[in-house]
Amino acid sequence: MPDYDSWSGELFDSLAFEVNPGWISPRRRGVGGAEESLMELDVRTLYVALMVATLWSAIMVGAANLGNQAAPGVWRWVLAYLMLTASWGLVALRGHAPNWLTVLTPNLLIFSACALIHSAIVVVLGSYRRLQLTWSITLAGSLAFTLCFPFVEFWALICINSFTVGCILLNVSTVLLQGAKRSAAPARCTLGLWLGMGGVMMMVRLVNGVLNRPIDLMPNGWPQVLILLIALTIVLGSVFGFALMSREEMLLELNRRATFDALTCAYNRHAFDPVGQAALARLAREGGAVSVLMLDLDHFKQINDSYGHATGDVVLQTVTTRFQDHLRAGDVLARYGGEEFCVLLPATPLHDALDVAERLRLAIAGQPVMAEQRQLIVTVSIGVASTATNGVFSDLIARADSGLYAAKAAGRNCVHVETTFS
């Protein structure tokens, strides 16, 4: 029968722990008493694993967006990951190729790739906040690394790399997390956390470089191994977060297009009608009154026929801006079709609605519209309807529309109240 106690005792005696500065590495006595690492991971192998993971991520993201002309941010991300792939591959050649190729070139690629990742994110988000800071850090880090490369020890280069990449990733993470807080976008938050982890990791690497001063850019040992394993996780997690964020932004954009008019950025008719019906439903609970204004630009077809549709578009945009400038915070403006607009006035009785209508009429007629270096006189006819009872919103719209036709019949550029009250 095997002597398990004797066997386990021999195994325990064969183990030793070698204490390095700040790190404990389990060792085993091999044949002849030589010590071997129990869990030694080759740093070069980890760089190859990083290269494969980054390349695969770039291929998957690129393949998922083939033919997608509306995804310039996605293709910048793919390019950034291809640059990272090249950098990991060059670093893995360390010792088999010149230093300028395995040290200087990959670090400059990494700096540029991190900045390109920020560029990809801001294109997807449509906001270029703090991008200039990222490119400034990138240029400063690239210049410092290039100038110091021939003269300083490797640990100093590691510190420059860690500080530059860490600052870029923390800056991008801040942009994402602040944006997620404002817009309640969980995918932005996910990507921001992954990139923030990368930034923190690089700052830890910076501290480790200052304290331990490694003599090579590929030092073996658990500090470097742990950093590369975390980097591998962040590469995969970040591409997952970016894919989620791209999808989230696409859905938000589709919602914006379904809600707002592309030319004027006012509500469109499809989204406006439910808002109006909800305002009427609140009457049953809160009381008060709801009013609607129906507005139509006078002789707008003549502007299109005489000066072209580009001039007509400028007129519509200018008129929309003036409407919005003279409406209250709770009022809702919609482009109802063509040159026709509609305004929902919640909690507004008829006499207040008439004041708002007259204010809007004067805002348009009181000042010419500048379009294509021309001063155009534009006026608006307005129909007003009000109700104090819950009902069907389309009925209220129809009454305001009747008032609009009456205003046009009365000579245009005036306000008319629909006479059937409810």
CATH at residue 368: 3.30.70.270
Please give the residue range of the domain that contains residue 97: 43-258
Residue 67 — very low, low, confident or very high, per pLDDT cuts 50/70/90?
A: low
Pair (248, 108) in one structural domain:
yes
Q: Single out the residue in 237, 258, 279 at which a domain terminates.
A: 258
| pLDDT(62) > 50 | yes
At 5-53, the pLDDT tens digits run 444 444 334 333 343 443 334 444 444 444 444 345 678 888 899 999 9
Active site residue 249: no
Q: pLDDT value at position 385? A: 94
Pair (253, 371) in one structural domain:
no
Q: Single out the residue in 258, 278, 295 at which a domain terminates.
A: 258
- Nearest residue to 186 (alpha-carbon basis) of 120, 241, 126, 122: 241
When comparing pLDDT for 15 and 99, which is higher?
Answer: 99
The pLDDT of 57-65, averaged and rounded, is: 85
Q: pLDDT value at position 19? A: 38
- Of the candidates 339, 340, 372, 418, the residue annotated as catalytic is 339
Pair (324, 227) in one structural domain:
no
Residue 117 — very low, low, confident or very high, per pLDDT cuts 50/70/90?
A: very high
Pair (280, 211) in one structural domain:
no
The answer to whether 280 and 387 have CB atoms below 8 angstroms apart is yes
Pair (29, 130) in one structural domain:
no
Pair (248, 355) in one structural domain:
no
| Tally of domains within the chain | 3
